[in-house]
């Protein structure tokens, strides 16, 4: 059984890392059984038992090609050097998707895997899913069923199309089950397994105790606001970017603001000459490596974001989060967690942020199956099927 997992952009790495570890654990277990079948308890006849041989490979499309957004994540997450690297780089959605499909097709023709695992909702997700299905190779989608119901978001299109053609749909939260059922997806394909992003968080949380990022930035725990913004709806339009700049400046009058700038956001801040208008109490950084960034999330008083993954991480950690979007594909973070969805009005966001900084805290809980064992469930399902 040969399986290829696909990564392309920063969020993918945190979701594939626990899957890689789960396959490695299974491999070690199988090797032990091959050497001594009697170690398998409860088997009727272990004499002739041979566990399945599984080859798990990783393909990096290169959708994120900046080392700070890619290479360092492989190193920190304990992922091996990718078996295949497509190096597609940037470009429009159409250019990037086409280049991924062309490169991945060559990999599939050479390797002939039994299954392709895709994660998330980036261009690599739909491009590799479509390429595999055209070659009659089964597809498993990790993080299936999430819906923002906003088809202006390219990620929403990627999610819907990938789920439509996938053979295994691994769901992170209960809203995903309802969405897939409503869309008529065959129930035998759907599996509620929990959240691989949280698997990585739980695994690496102890490492944050050794991170020196707070000292490096000269900030104190629970006394700063963490900001991440990268979606086109927030950073591509000059008027909206001015509004975002004003919002961040206003928050910096009450707390230090830490702002790791996505390459897209930095480009537009410089293009519209707004970067020099940010106050001195705003710490601008390059994209930050996973362990250090997890440390910043864990110790922040408030997070202002438009990221999907950070909504989940802050909910698990019980950190206050304000999401500047009209909708979220992760409603459990709002219904159960500490996330507030405030829309795209910066004044509403400012009011909500000031309430948090004045002591109002939204109470939350951890959603079902966010327990660090999601990847184990996924691998178990794939092997037993």
pLDDT of residue 67: 60
| pLDDT given at position 83 | 96
pLDDT of residue 48: 59
Regions of the chain with pLDDT less than 70: 37-52, 64-70, 73
User: Is the CB of residue 121 less than 8 Å from the CB of residue 143?
Assistant: yes
Tens of pLDDT, residue by residue over 129-179, are 999 999 999 999 999 999 999 999 999 999 999 999 999 999 999 999 999
Query: Could you give the 3-state DSSP secondary structure of residue 266?
Result: helix
Say what the pLDDT of residue 30 is.
Answer: 84
For 268, counting Cβ atoms within 10 Å of its Cβ (0-12 exposed, 13-18 middle, 19+ buried), the class is: buried
Strand partners, 323: 305, 341
Question: Residues near 244 by Cβ (< 8 Å), separated by ≥ 6?
Answer: 229, 234, 235, 324, 346
Number of other CB atoms surrounding residue 270 within 10 Å: 12
Distances (CA, A) of 360 to 243, 296, 346: 24, 21, 19
- CATH superfamily label, 205-357: Glycogen Phosphorylase B; (3.40.50.2000)
List, by residue range, all CATH 3.40.50.2000 domains of the chain. Answer: 2-195+370-384, 205-357
The mean predicted confidence, pLDDT, of the chain is: 93
Topology of domain 2-195+370-384, CATH: Rossmann fold (3.40.50)
pLDDT at 47: 53
User: What pLDDT is recorded for position 38?
Assistant: 62
What pLDDT was estimated at residue 44? 47
pLDDT in tens, 351-365: 999 999 999 999 999
User: Which amino acids are annotated catalytic?
Assistant: 230
pLDDT at position 68 is 59
């Amino acid at each position: 059984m040969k399986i290829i997992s696909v990564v392309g952009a920063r969020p993918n790495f945190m979701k594939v890392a626990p899957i890689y570890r789960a396959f490695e654990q299974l491999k070690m277990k199988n090797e032990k059984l091959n050497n001594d079948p009697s170690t398998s308890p409860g088997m009727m006849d272990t004499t002739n038992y041979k566990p399945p041989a599984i080859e798990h490979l990783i393909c990096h499309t290169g959708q994120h090609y900046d080392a700070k957004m890619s290479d360092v994540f492989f190193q920190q997450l304990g992922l091996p050097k990718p078996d295949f690297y497509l190096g597609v780089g940037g470009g429009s959605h159409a250019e990037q998707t086409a280049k991924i499909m062309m490169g991945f097709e060559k990999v599939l023709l050479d390797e002939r895997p039994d299954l392709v695992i895709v994660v998330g909702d980036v261009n690599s997700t739909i491009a590799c899913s479509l390429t595999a299905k055209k070659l009659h190779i089964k597809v498993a989608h990790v993080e299936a069923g999430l819906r923002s119901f906003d088809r202006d978001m390219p990620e929403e299109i990627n999610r819907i199309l990938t789920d439509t053609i996938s053979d295994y749909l691994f769901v992170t939260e209960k809203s995903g089950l309802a969405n897939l059922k409503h869309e008529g997806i065959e129930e035998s394909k759907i599996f509620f397994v929990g959240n691989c992003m949280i698997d990585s968080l739980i695994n690496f949380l102890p490492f944050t105790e050794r991170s020196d990022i707070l000292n490096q930035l000269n900030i104190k725990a629970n006394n700063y606001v963490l900001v991440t913004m990268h979606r086109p709806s927030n950073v591509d339009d000059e008027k909206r970017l001015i509004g975002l700049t004003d919002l961040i400046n206003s928050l910096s009058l009450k707390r230090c603001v830490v702002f790791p700038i996505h390459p897209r956001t930095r480009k537009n801040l410089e293009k519209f000459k707004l970067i020099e208008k940010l106050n001195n109490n705003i710490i601008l950084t390059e994209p930050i490596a996973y362990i250090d960034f997890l440390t910043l999330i864990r110790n922040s008083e408030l997070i202002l974001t438009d990221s999907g993954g950070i909504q989940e991480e802050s909910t698990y950690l019980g950190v206050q989060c304000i999401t500047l979007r009209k909708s979220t594909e992760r409603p459990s973070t709002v219904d159960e967690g500490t996330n507030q969805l405030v829309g795209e009005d910066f004044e509403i966001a400012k009011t909500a942020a000031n309430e948090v900084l004045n002591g109002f805290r939204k109470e939350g809980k951890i959603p079902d199956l966010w327990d660090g064992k999601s990847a184990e469930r996924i691998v178990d399902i794939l092997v037993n099927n």
